[in-house]
């Protein structure tokens, strides 16, 4: 399967480049913290930290080539390969054009996308759903992953001024009680780290021979990017 064929992804991961004019831009809103407990502090701080990093045009170029299209609403790189290239990006709660977008952690690594698509093709999601039904501790951890996701996006919404009213309570990947898109769940696990989402951890373990954030298997290089071909704009010496 072509790793660049993102038609294999599910609805959560499907329409980042949906085009067209939508409603008026969201006006800035006040957000009260529904997820105010200290157990959510770290995930809000993670959102703050990620969005503090200026969006590097090299990363945007690379993600465009990873996805085969421009990553609309991309706010930041959320996770990187050992080599430094983006694996997942952080996306605005409302895309340009006013389109609500719940999948705030979006998997971009072609290698990860391919591995997860193959895993899904083997019917693993049914196994994971069964385990959720049989294991209350796992179900509770998965429910907490859902809350972490919502807390994270709430912070994104606060920082960007985006409204969340069309996606209130909606996270991604089928959470809190279904397993619908391992791409979206893995993206959360890569962004928030091990332990944040048990299904993401299980997915990572299942594909470790094909994908591992600590082992670079990237097929794309920054240097392939045309905009870099004749520039030292980003501090890279031409010819190196």
User: Which region, judged by CB under 5 A, interacts with Zn ion, from 27-35, 40-48, 95-103, 215-223?
Assistant: 215-223
Return the number of the residue (85 or 144) whose C-beta is nearest Zn ion: 85
* 16, 63, 75, 81: residue in contact with Zn ion (rule CB under 5 A): 81
Task: Determine the Cα–Cα distance for residues 186 and 109; give it in Å rounded to an integer.
Answer: 11
Return the number of the residue (111 or 147) whose C-beta is nearest Zn ion: 111
User: Which region, judged by CB under 5 A, interacts with Zn ion, from 49-57, 78-86, 89-97, 173-181?
Assistant: 78-86
Task: Determine the Cα–Cα distance for residues 42 and 195; give it in Å rounded to an integer.
Answer: 13
The conformation of residue 215, written as its DSSP 8-state character, comes to B
In the chain, the N- to C-terminal Cα span, in Å, equals 33
Return the number of the residue (50 or 81) whose C-beta is nearest Zn ion: 81
Return the number of the residue (101 or 211) whose C-beta is nearest Zn ion: 211
Residue 133 interacts with Zn ion (CB under 5 A)?
no
CB atoms within 10 A of CB 231: 11
Task: Determine the Cα–Cα distance for residues 58 and 234; give it in Å rounded to an integer.
Answer: 8
Q: What angle do CA 124, 125, 129 make, to 5 degrees?
A: 120
Partnered with residue 91 across adjacent β-strands are 74
Min separation Cβ 215 and Zn ion, Å: 8
Spatial contact of 210 and 114, defined as CB atoms under 8 Å apart: yes
Min separation Cβ 216 and Zn ion, Å: 3
Min separation Cβ 218 and Zn ion, Å: 3
Residue 215 interacts with Zn ion (CB under 5 A)?
no
- Contacting residues toward Zn ion, per CB under 5 A: 81, 83, 85, 216, 218
């Amino acid at each position: 399967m072509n790793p660049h064929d993102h038609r294999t992804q599910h609805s959560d991961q499907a329409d980042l480049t949906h085009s067209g004019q939508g409603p008026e831009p969201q006006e800035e809103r006040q957000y009260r913290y529904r997820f105010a407990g200290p157990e959510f502090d770290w995930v809000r701080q993670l959102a703050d930290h990620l969005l503090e990093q200026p969006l590097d045009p090299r990363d945007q170029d690379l993600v465009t080539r990873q996805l085969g299209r421009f990553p609309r609403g991309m706010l930041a790189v959320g996770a990187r390969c050992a080599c430094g290239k983006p694996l997942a990006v952080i996306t605005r709660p409302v895309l340009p054009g006013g389109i609500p977008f719940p999948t705030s952690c979006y998997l971009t690594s072609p290698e990860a996308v391919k591995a997860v698509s193959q895993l899904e093709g083997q019917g693993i999601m049914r196994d994971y759903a069964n385990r959720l039904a049989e294991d209350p501790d796992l179900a509770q951890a998965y429910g907490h992953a859902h809350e972490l996701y919502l807390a994270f996006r709430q912070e994104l919404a606060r920082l960007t001024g985006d409204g969340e009213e069309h996606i209130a309570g909606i996270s991604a990947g089928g959470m809190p009680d279904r397993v619908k898109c391992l791409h979206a769940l893995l993206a959360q696990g890569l962004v928030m780290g091990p332990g944040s989402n048990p299904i993401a951890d299980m997915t990572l373990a299942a594909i470790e021979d094909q994908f591992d954030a600590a082992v670079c298997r990237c097929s794309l290089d920054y240097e392939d990017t045309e905009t870099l071909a004749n520039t030292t704009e980003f501090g890279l010496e031409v010819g190196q």
